[in-house]
Amino acid sequence: MGVDYGQCKSLNLELGQKYQQFQAPLEAGERVFLPTFVHKVQASETAYSIFNKHYAQLDQKARDQEMYYLLNLQNVNAEKLPQQYPLLLIQRNSLKPEEGVKREESYKPENNTDVEEYFKKYEKFAQEELDYLYENVYPGIQKEGRLSPKLFVDAAKKIYEQKKDVKYIAPIQLALAQLINEGFVEQGRVSGNAFNIGAHDSGVTEYERSLNTLEKGFSAYYSLLANAYLATKTADELLSAGNFTNAEGGAYALNPHYEVLACGHIGKMHRRRAGIKLSAGVGEGRENRHSDVQLVAKMLMNIGYLDKHKSYDIKDVKKAIQNFQKEEIVTIDKAWYKKRMETLYRLEFKRYGKDPSRVDGSGYKHALIQQARMSDGAVDPGGDVIDILYFMAYLNRSIPKL
């Protein structure tokens, strides 16, 4: 994705600059993108926090109407950075509101070696994650009941043969996250519709029954993602709250936590690889050890839910956790969230003939359980919230390239 620097204004960020120095361009409708090192070197905390709050409040349509370029310096050693670094003030896109911006991250390998390298990395990541899951999370599943990374790669290669562009291929992290969301990894099954393609909350469909082998199920999933979802949105856009929808607006899943839980699964994969973990819980009713509170506070600061001067006050950290959960995870006040829950209730009431909240195993009851679990004001070592927070704070709400 290139940047036409002739269309942009530039600004030097000096360590210690405050929001007032960015106020005019912000109010003029321009967007100041602060690279991730700003927080790491403790520069201009106020501007960083205010901007991220602004970004988090934009709905998907508003985001699509502007061009966003984020300079990601997450892996740069902050101590070696110069005292100034040029930032871009991105001017508002000239497209009409109804046109939007289709942000496609196309990648067409130039030769067979590039293609082979892409799929080698794809398979390697799948193998490593599956090995971890079966050895540490689901050790009871015997080898004959375990999935092979070849299933992912073969289905992905078919899409590449058709499209000749890897943007149509579901990133391996997304495919794994959705497989976990569907609960298939833990089941130890060696056949069937792993991604529940064609499934409806009102009951089992004939198409769903026809996907009776893993190969058929994986092929159906990769084809569906390529043609109905990744043709118009990037994988990152699909993971935005309430945005895993096709061109007609149909949601991939009615569970309103589907997107954010997928973000969490991806966050967990990369958090584990980075060796970042909590020793105990942080928040309401938790141990709140100093090192753990610091870690959670830094992540909350990264996405604008906590200011620097409040980072070591546990009361403020608790409040920030509650706000984060309300605004990013269990967003019960959002119209799309309410609509999904209402639709899920209606379909399952018709299916079961009674209130689905009283039916064990129903999707609606499962969503209610998730609501309670992810709005408890706490961040636990093995919970979903820590992984969702990591995805948003350290991965910048995007799936890392392999």
In this structure, which amino acid lies at residue 277? K
| Alpha-carbon separation of residue 130 from 53, 176, 197 (angstroms) | 36, 9, 21
pLDDT at 140 over 80: yes
pLDDT in tens, 228-245: 999 999 999 999 999 999
pTM of the prediction?
0.73
> What pLDDT is recorded for position 201?
47
> What pLDDT is recorded for position 190?
62
pLDDT at 216 over 70: yes
> What pLDDT is recorded for position 166?
92
Instruction: Work out the mean pLDDT of the chain and round it to a whole number.
Output: 76
Average pLDDT over residues 21-44: 39
Rounded percentage of the chain residues whose pLDDT exceeds 70: 67
In this structure, which amino acid lies at residue 344? L
DSSP 225: I
Q: Identify the residue with better confidence: 159 or 55.
A: 159
Average pLDDT over residues 253-267: 97
Q: How far apart are CA 255 and CA 260, in angstroms?
A: 10
8 Å CB contact between 378 and 282? yes
Average pLDDT over residues 136-160: 93
Q: Strands of 84-90's sheet, edge to edge?
A: 9-14, 84-90, 31-32
| 82-86, 253-257, 371-375: segment of lowest average pLDDT | 82-86
Closest CA to 91 of 18, 36, 11, 35: 11
Most confident of 102-116, 247-261, 306-320: 247-261
Closest CA to 367 of 217, 259, 250, 270: 259
